[in-house]
Amino acid sequence: MKLLEVKNLIKHFPVKNHKGQVVHAVDDVSFHINEGETLGLVGESGCGKSTCARTIIRIYDPTGGEIIFDGQNLATLSQRELKPIRKNMQMIFQDPYTSLNGRMTVRDIIAEPLIAHKIGNSQKERHEMVAQMLKQVGLNTEHGTRYAHEFSGGQRQRIGIARALILKPKLVICDEPISALDVSIQAQIINLLTEFQQKEKLTYLFIAHDLSVVEYISDHVGVMYLGKLVELSESKELYKNPLHPYTQGLLASIPALDIHAGKITDKAEMSGDLPSPISLPSGCRFCGRCPYAKKICAEAEPPMKEAAPGHMVACYLYS
C-alpha cells in the first residue's frame, strides 16, 4: 500500500534582485513509496533531492503538485493542520554536528518532540521513554545527561535517529544521514536504520549522493538531475541495467562503499559540472554532459517513459 505519493511536485525559489527569475530546484517530480519500503533518491549535490524532501515534509511550501501522505494531500494544508501529521513524518539530518542543540542535554533533545506532541503523562515517563530509545540506538541512560559536543559524529547521528524515531513515525526522511561520517561508522548507521525498519516497519525516503549506499538500503531508486527525476526503478534492476546516461555516469564515478568490509574504492570522476538551475539548458538538461546527445536532445525535454516493466527513464535513447 502506498504511504507517500508525490505527484508532479514543483519547488521554485525566486532569485533575489532578479525579478521574474527562479531557481528550478524541483521540477515536476513524481514517485511513490509503499509502506515499509525505502526509496533511495540520489544525485549530485544541487540536484534538488534535499529540497524535494524538505518540500514533502513542508519545511518549504510547494510551488505546485501534490504530496499525498496517508491519504491526505499535504500540499494544501496549513502549518496548523500539518502539526498532528508531522508526528508521523520525521527527518534525520545530514550533519550531526549542527543539527543538535549544544545547550540542551541529550535527554532533553530526544524528549523535545514528545513534549511538542504532548506524549507522556509526566517528565518521569518521558525520561523512561528516552532511556529506552537510547538503548535501542546503542547508547545508554547515562549518555542522556551529557551534551552533544561530548560525542563522536557517529554517536551524534545515533542521537539524531533517537530524536526522530521516539515519536514512532510512519515515514522517516533520511537526508544524507551518513555523508558527514567516517566510512566505518557509515556502515553502522545504515545497519541501525535497517534494523529499525525491520522492527518497526518504517518507511524511508533515503537521500544520498552515494549510489552504493542506496543500493544496500533501497527497494526502489530514483535518480535526480537538475531538479528532474530522470530514472526510477526497482533497486536491483537499476544497478543491473542502468538506462539513463547520467545514472551510468554516477555508477561509474561514485566511490563504492563496501558495507561489510567498511572500505571505500575510488572510481573515475564524471566529466562536466551541473548547469545553473536558474538558466536551464533547452531540451534535455543533461545534454551538455551526455556522450550520446543527438539533435532532438537539445530541442525538447524528454518525457519520462517506461522502458522496461516498472523501469522509468527520461531519455530519447529509449523512445
- Residues near ligand SF4 (CB under 6 A) are 244-245, 284, 286-287, 290, 292-293, 297, 302, 315-317
Report in angstroms the alpha-carbon separations of 43 from 160, 240, 243, 317: 23, 18, 15, 20
- Name residue, grid cell 532569485: 15
Determine contact, residues 313/319, Cβ cutoff 8 Å: no
Q: Please report how close the Cβ of residue 151 comes to ligand SF4 at its closest, in angstroms.
A: 44
Alpha-carbon span 189 to 218, nearest angstrom: 15
User: Which is nearest to 89 in space by CA: 198, 214, 179, 174?
Assistant: 174
The CB-of-83 to ligand SF4 minimum distance in angstroms stands at 42
Instruction: Count how many Cα atoms sit within 13 Å of the Cα of residue 22 in the half-sphere of its side chain.
Output: 11
Is 91 in contact with 57 (CB distance < 8 Å)?
yes
Q: Choose between 28 and 70: whose C-beta lies nearer to ligand SF4.
A: 28
| Closest CB 255 distance from ligand SF4, rounded Å | 23
Query: How far is the C-alpha of 199 from the C-alpha of 72, rounded, in Å?
Result: 26
- Shortest approach of ligand SF4 to residue 287 CB, angstroms? 4
Minimum gap (Å) between residue 308 Cβ and ligand SF4: 16
Q: What is the Cα–Cα distance from 102 to 93, expressed in whole angstroms?
A: 15
From the number of C-beta atoms within 10 Å of its C-beta (0-12, 13-18, 19+), residue 75 rates as: buried
**At its nearest, how many Å lie between ligand SF4 and the CB of residue 227?**
14
Shorter beta-carbon distance to ligand SF4: residue 201 or 305:
305
**Closer residue to ligand SF4, CB minimum distance, 31 or 286:** 286
* 121: amino acid identity, one letter: N
Return the number of the residue (259 or 297) whose C-beta is nearest ligand SF4.
297
Residue 64 exposure: Cα atoms within 13 Å on the Cβ side: 10
User: In the complex with ligand SF4, which residue's Cβ is closer, 33 or 287?
Assistant: 287
Query: CA 279, CA 296: separation in Å to the nearest integer?
Result: 19
Grid cell of 147 as nine digits: 551534551
Q: Considering the complex, state which of residue 74 and residue 290 has its C-beta at the smaller distance from ligand SF4.
A: 290
Residue 192 in grid coordinates: 541501525
CB of 302 to ligand SF4, least distance (A): 4
Q: Which is nearer to ligand SF4, 79 or 271 (CB)?
A: 271
